[in-house]
Structure 1
């Protein structure tokens, strides 16, 4: 079941097991021979290779022992027929190949491809393979592999990554878990991954965005309806800002501030005053009608100087929150509240409400003590460390399967959960998770989460359902960061740079700002 109504614009993500079952359905039920599919995959990969790197003439194709290796042999055959200089290396003895992979190997030999066996090459000759190439083709380990790669694959993967050469991965970078995106050992760092039949979930979350590079999907002529008829259910959906931008609400000419929500942000203990201000300013830039900020009294002056449109209130005790909560319809709590007495009493007061609620940062750390939440419309926005504390596990456990982790947090704490990180995951009860495609390394700095919580609160206050508010805010947040990075770079990116880019992106979605890079 979808998290939001725009699922016709989103793509389904499948587990590795399901993709193999779909592949078998296409062969057995639709009558498309497996070798025909393999040829289509190789042709699609070679086409993408030439499109991306038209000037490269010296290919090193590394082939494994299964069907992924068969794809590689046919890529090598394609390259040879087109006059490229091809070195093809078998990581597993071709004598062990069976079925379509064996047929592909024989086809490559027929087309003039010379295949060397990795294990028979001296170490210096193995190194020379990379030195003599200008482009690498990774067809070593496919979707059926889990755990850390063993030899000789581990050495070959290391050779790829240390060569400095661009690499195209066939279906999935070798060493990456195609279901979870986990990396138990070395993984080929691809510049381009061409994936087939159905999209694999692990390419879009966990370590997937780190190792896949650009992802190109090739259906190989298998229609989405045929994928559905296979009986295999997706484990998640994929979306980005382009998918959701059409859902940005259009404002009538008679609009007034009372129609777009009243948001209260409870944030900013001593030493963390900026957290609340970032959340409040981001919320104001995301269209909420009225924004109030409850923070430590010493932060009132700086907050008003930075963002005078925000109504700032100094509070020292939770009892002072009551009139502010009564005046609001949506609450955000957590940015910079700390884990001391002030933050604890603020959280304890907020969670007694049934209003729409966003809980972030130290609110989540305090919730790891199992603070009950009364609202059914709450959104939790943990990063992996906070999710680990909520579940009583390690960060490595969270990252080993981000979709399952997000669902487990949701099961224990209710509401909607947004697990931050590359390939942000959004989970709600009884619904399949959604994965935000893309990542931006410039967002790895303090305050970015505060901006996101303010944006989520703003959309929630404007009447969006929790899952849609979380999804749209996350996509908008990433899109604004991508735009800001064009002028600020990654290392110099600040949360305020992201906030500054939000109005133009929203304006473009509203049809008011000319299109451009997002």
Structure 2
């Protein structure tokens, strides 16, 4: 499998088809029995069940027709053997089972599992199954689904979600596209998802982040099968522990000239806070110098809030070139508006040819221009801005976030950071990156302004590595929000809370990246 420097196999995210081909390779080329592999998956899932919910019963297992259903039947068999009370509902008729799924059903019956076909059960009896259960195992649809679930699955998914019970999803929550993270219709809201053989990209972006709960990966001792199969990942999962050594080293004799000069161009009338959030975030992310070009009426407030930022009141675009000349990287767009002032600011930034981070109104203005790809830029759109940039609807973006990010990058060049739960970063090379995790407290105005400042600061410190700067920025932004929400909660989280937490995140990397003189 092609590997980028710094990648590890445990961070590789695959499409559903690739995982199926890996599974087939392990069975056909490495001689692993398919049914034994299914039993390994069931044992792994059941092990997670008893660790998370020890002694819980009765367990209601919902089974489909394919291998996912087979996993469910074997989980039920494991539960019976361990003395748990189990009810098993065959959502797909057992008479249509074949192959390993049929073997699994037969084994469950032989082990004493009571399996009821959905078509044979009365409405009151069906209600009783969900009312008496204490835990649900979702083994209905697996990775094969690409659109909205049809009946009877959609109806059972609704019942499952209305039951208010903890749910363990087997491999992928039913109704979720395992590759794109989209859900075309009803989807199971899982408490935990145990996924096998290869991590599926859709579990880590889009709807997947909202419906998978805690994701546990079980490789099932497939050995070298993933590598030898030749399947390449579609994305790499990036989290703070795995990327913090990407930060540039700060030597003991470091000075501000080594860490870049970020110029933030932002803040039309009434939106001065956006530019200040970006500028302060840049300063808190290690930039050597930070300047802010904004409307003159915002200067006093900006200096009062953050005196370390050099603030310039700018009335006309002709005043910007001198400031641009001194900058290493320009962050353009937060609160900039789309009036003549904002248009002038953006045009000067584009004409300067300086490395840049374009966000917010800079992207909205860019979407109405004829463009050609530019290498030295990072675009940070949210789905609405991405839709405008591609002249499509937001649901088209969310239907396949990986494809949308790659298309944006092919049109505009540079690096594209598509914001949202499971942020996707595309740089023109494969695979793309996904910043692992989400935080509902970040669903408030100004969080994107903070992100643009963090990314701009890192780009200024890593001028030859915009893709790494974008990935680091997304991950650090998320990590700072996690630290802030640990004390502030989600509902009350505001952008300045995240800015205040940034130094705490960077501090965690300093023992490994800061060069100290050892005592002799």
Q: Shorter-chain TM-score: which interval?
A: over 0.9
Q: Number of aligned pairs?
A: 512
Structure 1 residue 199 and structure 2 residue 212: aligned?
Answer: no
Taking structure 1 as reference, are residues 10 and 88 closer, same or farther at Cα in structure 2, changes over 3 Å only?
closer
In structure 1, the residue matched to 2:487 is: 487
Measure how far apart 1:245 and its partner are: 1.2
- Contact 1:258 1:289 survives alignment (8 Å): yes
- Contact 1:352 1:373 survives alignment (8 Å): no
SS in 1 for 2:511: coil
In structure 1, the residue matched to 2:303 is: 304
In structure 1, the residue matched to 2:475 is: 475
Partner Cα separation in structure 1 for residue 294 and residue 374 of structure 2? 22
In structure 2, the residue matched to 1:341 is: 340
Taking structure 1 as reference, are residues 374 and 233 closer, same or farther at Cα in structure 2, changes over 3 Å only?
closer
In structure 2, the residue matched to 1:47 is: 47
Taking structure 1 as reference, are residues 3 and 9 closer, same or farther at Cα in structure 2, changes over 3 Å only?
closer
In structure 1, the residue matched to 2:317 is: 318
In structure 2, the residue matched to 1:25 is: 25
In structure 2, the residue matched to 1:252 is: 251
In structure 2, the residue matched to 1:386 is: 385
1:4-403 → structure 2 map (5 Å cutoff): 5-8=5-8, 11-223=11-223, 225-372=224-371, 375-403=374-402
Measure how far apart 1:122 and its partner are: 1.6
Partner Cα separation in structure 2 for residue 75 and residue 10 of structure 1? 25
Partner Cα separation in structure 1 for residue 380 and residue 114 of structure 2? 53
Partner Cα separation in structure 1 for residue 372 and residue 500 of structure 2? 33
Taking structure 1 as reference, are residues 27 and 57 closer, same or farther at Cα in structure 2, changes over 3 Å only?
same
SS in 2 for 1:372: coil
In structure 1, the residue matched to 2:518 is: none
Partner Cα separation in structure 1 for residue 301 and residue 502 of structure 2? 22
- Contact 1:278 1:495 survives alignment (8 Å): yes
Cα deviations by residue, 1:212-250 (Å, 9 ceiling, x for unpaired): 000000000013x32121122211111111111122223
1:408-423 → structure 2 map (5 Å cutoff): 408-423=407-422
Taking structure 1 as reference, are residues 328 and 418 closer, same or farther at Cα in structure 2, changes over 3 Å only?
same
Partner Cα separation in structure 2 for residue 302 and residue 4 of structure 1? 45
Taking structure 1 as reference, are residues 374 and 296 closer, same or farther at Cα in structure 2, changes over 3 Å only?
farther
Taking structure 1 as reference, are residues 438 and 138 closer, same or farther at Cα in structure 2, changes over 3 Å only?
same
Partner Cα separation in structure 2 for residue 287 and residue 324 of structure 1? 20
- Contact 1:448 1:495 survives alignment (8 Å): yes
Partner Cα separation in structure 2 for residue 104 and residue 423 of structure 1? 35
Measure how far apart 1:141 and its partner are: 0.4
- Contact 1:13 1:201 survives alignment (8 Å): yes
Cα deviations by residue, 1:58-100 (Å, 9 ceiling, x for unpaired): 1000000111000000000000000000000100111110000
In structure 1, the residue matched to 2:517 is: none
- Contact 1:353 1:374 survives alignment (8 Å): no
Partner Cα separation in structure 2 for residue 235 and residue 508 of structure 1? 30
Cα deviations by residue, 1:94-122 (Å, 9 ceiling, x for unpaired): 11100000000000011100100112212
**Backbone CA RMSD of aligned residues:** 1.5
- Contact 2:248 2:461 survives alignment (8 Å): no
Partner Cα separation in structure 1 for residue 458 and residue 146 of structure 2? 40
Partner Cα separation in structure 1 for residue 281 and residue 3 of structure 2? 24
Measure how far apart 1:280 and its partner are: 0.4
Measure how far apart 1:5 and its partner are: 3.5
- Contact 1:4 1:468 survives alignment (8 Å): no
Report which stretch shifted further, 350-359 or 31-40. 350-359
In structure 1, the residue matched to 2:406 is: 407
- Contact 1:331 1:355 survives alignment (8 Å): yes
Report which stretch shifted further, 388-397 or 118-127. 118-127
Q: TM-score, normalised by structure 1?
A: 0.97
In structure 2, the residue matched to 1:516 is: none
Taking structure 1 as reference, are residues 214 and 484 closer, same or farther at Cα in structure 2, changes over 3 Å only?
same
- Contact 1:119 1:152 survives alignment (8 Å): no
Measure how far apart 1:354 and its partner are: 2.2
Report which stretch shifted further, 246-255 or 340-349. 246-255
SS in 2 for 1:319: helix
Q: TM-score, normalised by structure 2?
A: 0.96
SS in 2 for 1:511: helix
Partner Cα separation in structure 2 for residue 377 and residue 120 of structure 1? 63
- Contact 1:204 1:435 survives alignment (8 Å): yes
Taking structure 1 as reference, are residues 158 and 236 closer, same or farther at Cα in structure 2, changes over 3 Å only?
same
